[in-house]
Amino acid sequence: MKNKIMIVLILVIMVQSNVSAARTENVYIEIDLSDSSLHVKSKAFAKKSAFFIDGHIKDLSLGSKVHIRTFGEYSRDKNPFSLKFTFLKRKGSKPREVRAIVKRIIENVPDFVQDGKLKLQEKTSLIGELKILAQLLEISQNNTVIILSDLLEYSADANAYQLIKSKKGALPPPKSDYLSGVNVIALGAGYGVKSSQQNDRLEAVWTEYFKQAGVKRFRYLSDF
């Protein structure tokens, strides 16, 4: 009898642990369509990114939302691609179904580019995109922004290619705390830089930028 009671208690604890592990979150996947980014031309890297993202969203609870957006030049006309999925119980929106769709989209980005469904762009206006994104965030909820980009900003706001050549390089100070409490993950950061020193500098300038913007945690992942 004692053994049966113990087994029941263990099962209850396991169920409670699984419930507590699930979390409600808004995930924004930002795809950089500039021609310098690896995921727009490497099928292997795109698949790797899709696997990473799936690992992040697989434990999200019902009610969580996954957004997919593109950016490049500072123009929504050139970046109309925007999708939104909500984890629900109904068919077509069940978590495993949404995960499959998201994974398929991310791993096929190189094909979409090659087929002309997504247009390569010559600039990377990430700062401008983040300002737009900040207007869409539901600040009262948990938000994670996953950026598929080399983070080499090249826009009217800054030229990261020049910044990383100097120890004193810095991005323009952002509006204080405009991304307050947000988690940011960059996949493929630093791809194409000429040295580990430049990669360190690129990480440093973005770390400082996101710190000033109020980001809760920033992960700079050149590989993953």
* Digit-coded pLDDT (tens) for 142-181: 999 999 999 999 999 999 999 999 999 999 999 999 999 9
| % of the chain surpassing 90 pLDDT | 84
Amino acid code (one letter) for 86: T
Residues 48-62 pLDDT 10s: 999 999 999 999 999
pLDDT of 118 reads 95
Over residues 17-27, the mean pLDDT reads 70
This prediction's pTM: 0.89
Q: When comparing pLDDT for 1 and 184, which is higher?
A: 184
Task: Please write the tens of the pLDDT for every residue from 139-153.
Answer: 889 999 999 999 999
What is the domain partition of the chain in residue ranges?
24-221
**Would you say residue 187 has pLDDT above 70?**
yes
CA distance 73 to 31: 12
pLDDT-based confidence at residue 80 (cuts at 50, 70, 90): confident
Mean pLDDT of 124-153: 96
Can you tell me the distance from the alpha carbon of 67 to that of 74, in angstroms, rounded to the nearest whole number?
19
**Residue 71 confidence (pLDDT) above 50:** yes
What is the C-alpha separation between 111 and 207, in angstroms, rounded?
A: 32
State yes or no: pLDDT of 66 exceeds 90. Answer: yes
Dist CA 83 CA 31 (whole Å):
12
How far apart CA 57 and CA 46 sit, in angstroms, is 17
Kindly report the backbone phi and psi dihedral angles of residue 218, in degrees, each rounded to the nearest multiple of 5, phi listed first.
-120, 125
Mean of pLDDT over the chain = 91
Q: What pLDDT does residue 75 have?
A: 83
CATH architecture of 24-221: 3-Layer(aba) Sandwich (3.40)
